[in-house]
Amino acid sequence: MSPSGSSSPLPSDHEQNERQRPTLAPPARGLDASGVAMREPSLYGSRKASLALDIIVVGCGIGGLSAAFCLTQAGHRVTIIESYPVLGEVGAGIQLTPNSTRLLRRWGLGEHLKENAVRPEGIAYLRYNTGERIGFTRMGESLEREQGAAYYHMHRADLHKLLYDLVAPHVTILLGSTVTGCDPDPISPSVTLESGEVLWADLIVGADGVRSRIQRIVSGEPNPAELTGDAVYRTTIPASLLTRDPELREFIEHPQMTGWAGPGKWMVGYPIVRSYPFQVLTRTS
Ligand SMILES: Cc1cc2nc3c(=O)[nH]c(=O)nc-3n(C[C@H](O)[C@H](O)[C@H](O)COP(=O)(O)OP(=O)(O)OC[C@H]3O[C@@H](n4cnc5c(N)ncnc54)[C@H](O)[C@@H]3O)c2cc1C
């Protein structure tokens, strides 16, 4: 059974993919946007599920794309539903620890990370008012050797784009579609879109982020973020400005995560690169 709608039934999988594929020019066959060769990964020893399911994943963020990729590799048919009408250049730095980069490597993205992410030498802890170094955790090559995978800093949009390129050929993505309801019926679960359309599948995966509506509906309880009284501010500074300053150049030339510890306050800085242009518009009209 394909995910199907009550008010406007969706066409066959193939037609659906043709019609609703977002309008991103695909990278040249076998290459990603920066020209790095994409290795077609083979997960689960190429074994497929004996029963292919139709699965709806709510949320086309990092988690949704990752879940969708693994499900398609196991032979399932996946439709991703995302409320943003555009996927693109949002966010800033994201830190990827070895437990996640190990998976990305397994999915064939190891070379992309090597080429396009920053591998920090370590984490330096500094006193906020004097700049005195009070601690250092070595990472770089030694952490990679120890963990079998590296620690990277990356721009979230680059990671999102890498995962999008990996997954898009295998799934249907509905952008500009907000899920407003979910019926977790064990026999025929469904989601309702803001438009009133209802889509059924064999399985629904909630990957709709920190304010997850699906989690709230399934658990039957609100799960709001708790106010801590802390506030976080984020900014990005062009590397060209830092390299011009003799005191700040070091932060670019020796990439590391630097944390300045002050009374009741903490500041973190780390270099990232921005590698790929990324904009996927809403479904083609
Ligand atoms: C726009 C954006 C920018 C971010 N920038 C950074 C950053 O710079 N640094 C950092 O460390 N982390 C950032 N994050 C957070 C980080 O990406 C996530 O916390 C982490 O990757 C976990 O991923 P996730 O897939 O669970 O959630 P998210 O990455 O938050 O993805 C959830 C997705 O679900 C979609 N969604 C939510 N509700 C619905 C609904 N009802 N119907 C349909 N779709 C829905 C959202 O639009 C979103 O695309 C950002 C997240 C977002 C959404």
Distance 28 CA to ligand 1 centre (A): 28
Does residue 14 lie in a domain region?
yes
pLDDT, tens digit, 9 for 90 and up, residues 77-105: 999 999 999 888 888 899 999 999 999 99
The pick from 82, 97, 213, 218 for probing ligand 1's pocket by mutation, whose C-beta has the most ligand atoms within 8 angstroms, reads: 82
Does residue 184 lie in a domain region?
yes
Please say whether the beta carbons of 184 and 203 come within 8 A: no
pLDDT at 20: 37
According to DSSP, the residues that pair with 124 across neighbouring strands are 136, 258
- Percent pLDDT > 90 in the chain is 61
Binding pocket residue ranges, ligand 1, CB within 6 Å: 58-64, 81-84, 90-94, 156, 178-179, 207-209, 213
Q: Beta strands 133-138 and 122-127: pairing type?
A: antiparallel
CA dist., res. 34 & res. 210, Å (int): 31
Q: For residue 22, what are the domain limits?
A: 4-89+157-219
CA dist., res. 64 & res. 78, Å (int): 11
Does residue 164 lie in a domain region?
yes
User: Under DSSP, is residue 46 helix (H, G, I), strand (E, B) or coil?
Assistant: helix
CA dist., res. 273 & res. 236, Å (int): 11
- Please name the residue whose Cα sits nearest to atom 51 of ligand 1: 91
Which atom belonging to ligand 1 lies closest to the Cα atom of 213? 41
Q: Beta strands 179-183 and 172-174: pairing type?
A: unpaired
How is 197-219 classified by DSSP, letter by letter? -EEE-SEEEE---TT-HHHHHHH
Does residue 204 lie in a domain region?
yes
Closest CA to 5 of 20, 21, 22, 18: 20
Alpha helices by DSSP H, listed for the chain, are 13-20, 62-73, 98-106, 110-116, 140-147, 156-167, 213-219, 239-243, 250-253
* pLDDT value at 34 more than 60: no
- Owner of token pair 């990679």: 144
Does residue 189 lie in a domain region?
yes
CA dist., res. 181 & res. 175, Å (int): 17
The total domain count for the chain is 1
CA dist., res. 196 & res. 248, Å (int): 54
Which comes out higher in pLDDT, residue 219 or 207? 207
The pick from 69, 94, 167 for probing ligand 1's pocket by mutation, whose C-beta has the most ligand atoms within 8 angstroms, reads: 94
pLDDT, tens digit, 9 for 90 and up, residues 1-31: 445 554 333 333 333 433 333 333 333 334 4
CA dist., res. 34 & res. 49, Å (int): 33
Mean pLDDT of 270-279: 79
- Identity (one letter) of the amino acid at 210? V
pLDDT, tens digit, 9 for 90 and up, residues 99-150: 999 999 999 999 999 988 999 999 999 999 999 999 999 998 999 999 999 9
Does residue 61 lie in a domain region?
yes
- Owner of token pair 């969706």: 10
Which atom belonging to ligand 1 lies closest to the Cα atom of 95? 11
Which of 15-29, 206-220, 244-258 comes out lowest in average pLDDT?
A: 15-29
- Please name the residue whose Cα sits nearest to atom 7 of ligand 1: 91
Distance 5 CA to ligand 1 centre (A): 26
Q: For the domain that residue 22 is a member of, what is the CATH number?
A: 3.50.50.60
Distance 61 CA to ligand 1 centre (A): 5
User: Under DSSP, is residue 13 helix (H, G, I), strand (E, B) or coil?
Assistant: helix
- Please name the residue whose Cα sits nearest to atom 4 of ligand 1: 91
Distance 157 CA to ligand 1 centre (A): 11
pLDDT at 87: 86
- Cβ-Cβ contacts under 8 Å for 106 (sequence gap 6 or more): 41, 43
Closest CA to 150 of 194, 215, 211, 105: 105
Please say whether the beta carbons of 254 and 136 come within 8 A: no
Which atom belonging to ligand 1 lies closest to the Cα atom of 178? 42
- Please name the residue whose Cα sits nearest to atom 38 of ligand 1: 208
Which comes out higher in pLDDT, residue 187 or 285? 187
Distance 170 CA to ligand 1 centre (A): 21
pLDDT at 5: 53
- Please name the residue whose Cα sits nearest to atom 16 of ligand 1: 62
- Please name the residue whose Cα sits nearest to atom 39 of ligand 1: 208
pLDDT, tens digit, 9 for 90 and up, residues 156-180: 999 999 999 999 999 999 999 999 9
Average pLDDT, the chain: 84
Closest CA to 92 of 209, 232, 225: 232
Does residue 242 lie in a domain region?
no
pLDDT at 124: 94
pLDDT at 117: 93
User: Under DSSP, is residue 259 helix (H, G, I), strand (E, B) or coil?
Assistant: strand
Distance 250 CA to ligand 1 centre (A): 32
Does residue 102 lie in a domain region?
no
- Cβ-Cβ contacts under 8 Å for 140 (sequence gap 6 or more): 119, 120, 121, 122
pLDDT at 161: 92
The pick from 103, 156, 223 for probing ligand 1's pocket by mutation, whose C-beta has the most ligand atoms within 8 angstroms, reads: 156
